[in-house]
Structure 1
Amino acid sequence: MGIFSRFSDIINSNLTALLDRAEDPAKMVRMMIQEMEETLVEVRTSSARVLADRKEQERRLQRLQSDVLDWEHKARLALSKGRDDLARAALAEKQAVEETLQLAGRELKVIEDQLCVLNEEISQLQQKLDDAKAKQQSLLAREQTSRSRMDIRRSSNREKLEEAFRKFEAYERKMDNMEAEVEAQDLGRTRTLHDEFTELTRNDKVESELEALKASMTNQRSEH
Structure 2
Amino acid sequence: MGLFTRFTDIVNANINSMLDKAEQPEKMIRLIIQEMEETLVEVRATAAKNIAEQKTLARKVSASQASVTHWHGKAELALAKDRDDLAKAALAQKHKYIAELEQLEEENKHLSEFLTAVQDDAQKLQSKLNEAKRRQEALLLRQESAEVRLKVREKAAIYNIDEAIGKFERYQQKIDRIEAQVEAFDMTENKDLSAQIADLEQDENIEQELAEMKKQVANG
Higher mean displacement: 97-106 or 142-151:
142-151
Which amino acid is the alignment partner of residue 101 of structure 2? L
Gaps of 5+ in 1: 188-224
Distance 2:116 2:169 in 1: 76
Distance 2:173 2:67 in 1: 108
Distance 1:164 1:144 in 2: 32
Alpha-carbon displacement from aligned partner over 1:39-90 (angstroms, at most 9, x marks no partner): 1111111111111111111111011001111111222223333333322221
* Correspondence 1:93 to 2:83: no
Distance 1:162 1:40 in 2: 57
Alpha-carbon displacement from aligned partner over 1:91-144 (angstroms, at most 9, x marks no partner): 111111111111111111221222133223213222222221222233233334
How does 1:1-224 map onto structure 2 within 5 Å?
6-147=6-147, 160=161, 165-179=167-181
Higher mean displacement: 94-103 or 121-130:
121-130
Higher mean displacement: 31-40 or 110-119:
110-119
Secondary structure at 2:82 match in 1: coil
Distance 1:156 1:98 in 2: 86
1:34 deviation in Å? 1.2
Secondary structure at 1:23 match in 2: coil
Gaps of 5+ in 2: 190-220
Secondary structure at 2:36 match in 1: helix
Structure whose CA Rg is larger? 1
Which amino acid is the alignment partner of residue 116 of structure 2? C
1:15 deviation in Å? 1.3
Higher mean displacement: 107-116 or 36-45:
107-116
Distance 1:164 1:25 in 2: 42
Alpha-carbon displacement from aligned partner over 1:6-42 (angstroms, at most 9, x marks no partner): 2232122121221111112122112111111111111
Q: Aligned pair count? A: 183
Give identity over the alignment, percent.
Answer: 36
Task: Compute the RMSD of aligned alpha carbons.
Answer: 3.2
Match of 1:220 in 2: none
Cα gap change, 1:164/1:45 in structure 2, threshold over 3 Å: closer, same or farther?
farther
Higher mean displacement: 140-149 or 82-91:
140-149
Match of 2:203 in 1: none
Taking structure 2 as the reference length, the TM-score comes to: 0.68
Match of 1:191 in 2: none
